[in-house]
Amino acid sequence: MGKKRIVKQSEDELLKQKGGGEIKKEVKVAAASKTNEGRLYIASSYNNTVITLTDRKGDVLGWATAGSIGFKGAKKSTPFAASKVSEVIAAAAKKIGIERVEVLVKGIGAGRESAIRSLASRGLEITSIKDITPVPHNGCRPPKARRV
């Protein structure tokens, strides 16, 4: 069969790749809200990063995921993909008129910090960052002891 080569790609090559740098579809935006404040929920798992933009009441105004902007497979869980998702959401927030956001982060994925940094660099004023990752108090019941 022969040896398989592992090819490492740079950020520029990832952007040139189909879907990596281009947004296939625009983020669907609900009716424009009257306020300029909102909440951003960042759910970062081992497989994907989901960012949801809501108003202060919790009504969803827009959302984006790493998969929805064109990343596939293992590339969805990278910090680079999370920063691209947050750039899309920041553009949608600017389009709606939201300038100040409260960020609520859930999960233990690789895209947590890079998504927040990208939001701040895009000009959104972050008023607070809160970690809402669920933590078990006692966890699941352990398996029975193995008898040999």
pLDDT of 148: 87
pLDDT tens-place values along the chain, 148 residues long: 567 666 666 656 655 665 544 555 555 555 554 679 999 999 999 999 999 999 999 999 999 999 999 999 999 999 999 999 999 999 999 999 999 999 999 999 999 999 999 999 999 999 999 999 999 899 889 999 999 8
Q: What is residue 16's predicted lDDT score, i.e. its pLDDT?
A: 62
CB 128 within 8 A of CB 103: yes
Q: How many CA atoms lie within 13 A of 29 on its CB side?
A: 15
Task: Please give the pLDDT value at position 4.
Answer: 67
Q: Where are the domains of the chain?
A: 27-131
Please give the CATH topology (third level) of the domain spanning 27-131. Nucleotidyltransferase; domain 5 (3.30.420)
3-state SS record for the chain: CCCCCCCCCCHHHHHHCCCCCCCCCCCCCCCCCCCCEEEEEEEECCCCEEEEEECCCCCEEEEEECCCCCCCHHHHHCHHHHHHHHHHHHHHHHHHCCCEEEEEEEECCCCHHHHHHHHHHCCCEEEEEEECCCCCCCCCCCCCCCCC
Report pLDDT for 1. 59
- pLDDT at res. 37: 95
C-alpha to C-alpha distances, 74 to 50, 67, 108, 142, 144, nearest whole angstrom:
15, 10, 16, 31, 35
Residue 27: its pLDDT value, please? 54
